[in-house]
Structure 1
Amino acid sequence: MTEPRPISIVPSVLPADFSRLGEECVALAEAGVDRIQWDVMDGRFVPNLTFGPDVIASCRKHVDIPFEAHLMVLDPDELAGRYVDAGCEILIVHAETAPHLHRTLARVRELGASPAVALNPATPVAAVQHVLDLVDMVLVMTVNPGFGGQDYIATMEPKVAEVRALADAQGLTLDVEVDGGIGPSTIAGAVTAGANVLIAGSALYRDPEGLGHAVSDLRARAEAARAS
């Protein structure tokens, strides 16, 4: 079994105030998050429209922590370069949108970013088992993508465990990320299943004690679940 990857708490900025995204990024960095995720939606692969590269580039100068772009788009090959230029160090592409997944992931690496691949809840792990050597992270969606504030699909935990076991069997040191419905009541299950990168949106912003408390609380719960 490979050495466990560190726990990372990564916010989605979907619940943030879009009129002051630069300030919101600063607040998240000060709260102690490990990086920031931008949920890029094209209105085609998923219903909503969110962040173009110019918006992300305008926020890049405000913080030094890494950015990751979750490309929920039908044509990641066309857009990847623009999000790298905008300052995203990690690009996540969906297996469902890349018919030539090896080529797409290799292109992300060529652009100088860290490639990652995402799986919708109904997409089997088999869709990525032959590209694990090309990625630094696998994202297992624990909601159907396109909207924030959805309920965690607990039946995805065996899928998280399957990804982790497959990476271990291949001797690969990969991050396994989960995104969707992560909060105080669900984070332990995700970590116990094998996830180490936890995306949180609504749970961070609705904590009455503020972002700093929310981040610390989720990190403590994740570390406790790993240690148990």
Structure 2
Amino acid sequence: MYKFSPSLMCMDLSRFKEQVEVLNDKADFYHVDIMDGHFVKNITLSPFFIQELKKITDVPIDAHLMVTNPADFVEMTIDAGADYISLHAETINGNAFRLINQIKEKGKKFGVVLNPATPLESIRHYIQHVDKLTIMTVDPGFAGQKFVEEMIGKIKEAKELKERNGYKYLITIDGSCNKNTFKKLVEAGAEVLIVGSSGLFGLDEDVNIAWDKMMDTFHLEVKDISQV
């Protein structure tokens, strides 16, 4: 069964509580982007946002740290209530094992994120510790970018590695998960789809209706794939 993770940077923040209460009965995860304006040229949500979100949901929260110095953010993100701490491979190879231990010792799940140009090979020394492997299918930083087709091969590689070695990570896709890509992503091996403006929130002002539209489209697109 495939899982869906709304990207909350794309929600209508003026209707934060209303939309979260609708999504609580539908979402498998919440995806919370934390950007520092340096690793990517944008600033979005924060550990404080997670703290407030945690007050109104039991849905697992995946904190995606798009930051240059993740060690500065990990502890406060854990304390805020995130369940998964997802770090960019490009930022952690100097202290990856220290950060993994810090996350796991607090009972949290460790996620790693790969930019489109970053190969799976870059995480081979700690891939066995990964609970959630997020493959970016757009360059990170801003919503609405063009899907990078070359990432289909990376998703297939991640699936093959997982099956061959018995790894437990969830293959998660971040970027342009929508009606144009659902089928190719699922066929390649995607397990968790992070849905933002084009996949969910932009489909209708009423997030309940938007969710139903998304699911109708998803099942129509993947109806011939046996796992669904």
Provide the TM-score with structure 2 as the length reference.
0.90
1:92-122 CA-partner distances (Å, limit 9, x unpaired): 0000001222222222111221001010000
Other-structure match for 2:105: 110
2:57 is matched with which residue: 57, 63, 83? 63
Distance 1:180 1:88 in 2: 21
2:202 is matched with which residue: 177, 202, 206? 206
Distance 1:92 1:147 in 2: 17
Structure 2 residue matching 1:224: 3-state secondary structure: coil
2:80 is matched with which residue: 82, 86, 90? 86
Distance 2:118 2:107 in 1: 28
Distance 2:72 2:224 in 1: 40
Given that 1:46 and 1:145 are in contact with CA atoms closer than 8 Å, whether structure 2 keeps it comes out as: yes
Other-structure match for 1:227: 226
Distance change >3 Å, CA 82–CA 207, structure 1 → 2: same
Are 2:146 and 1:151 aligned?
Answer: yes
Structure 1 residue matching 2:150: 3-state secondary structure: helix
2:134 is matched with which residue: 139, 148, 169? 139
Distance change >3 Å, CA 225–CA 100, structure 1 → 2: farther
Q: Which residue type is aligned with residue 83 of structure 2?
A: E
Other-structure match for 2:24: 29
Given that 1:139 and 1:176 are in contact with CA atoms closer than 8 Å, whether structure 2 keeps it comes out as: yes
Distance change >3 Å, CA 69–CA 218, structure 1 → 2: farther
Distance change >3 Å, CA 214–CA 11, structure 1 → 2: farther
Question: Which portions of structure 1, spanning 4 or more consecutive aligned residues, are displaced by more than 6 angstroms?
Answer: none
- Quote how far apart the aligned CAs of 1:223 are: 5.6
Q: Could you say what the CA RMSD is over the residues aligned between the two structures, in angstroms?
A: 1.8
- Quote how far apart the aligned CAs of 1:222 are: 7.1
Given that 1:9 and 1:219 are in contact with CA atoms closer than 8 Å, whether structure 2 keeps it comes out as: no
- Quote how far apart the aligned CAs of 1:138 are: 0.7
Other-structure match for 1:7: 2
Provide the TM-score with structure 1 as the length reference.
0.90
Distance change >3 Å, CA 154–CA 39, structure 1 → 2: same
- Quote how far apart the aligned CAs of 1:150 are: 1.5
Other-structure match for 1:216: 215
Q: What percent identity do the matched residue pairs reach?
A: 33
Given that 1:129 and 1:166 are in contact with CA atoms closer than 8 Å, whether structure 2 keeps it comes out as: no
Given that 2:135 and 2:173 are in contact with CA atoms closer than 8 Å, whether structure 1 keeps it comes out as: yes
Structure 2 residue matching 1:23: 3-state secondary structure: helix
Are 2:43 and 1:49 aligned?
Answer: yes
Aligned residues: 222
Distance 1:34 1:125 in 2: 25
Distance change >3 Å, CA 102–CA 219, structure 1 → 2: farther
Structure 2 residue matching 1:227: 3-state secondary structure: coil
Distance 1:52 1:224 in 2: 37
Q: Which residue type is aligned with residue 115 of structure 1?
A: F
Given that 1:184 and 1:217 are in contact with CA atoms closer than 8 Å, whether structure 2 keeps it comes out as: no
Q: Which residue type is aligned with residue 114 of structure 1?
A: K
Distance 1:188 1:123 in 2: 24
Other-structure match for 1:3: none
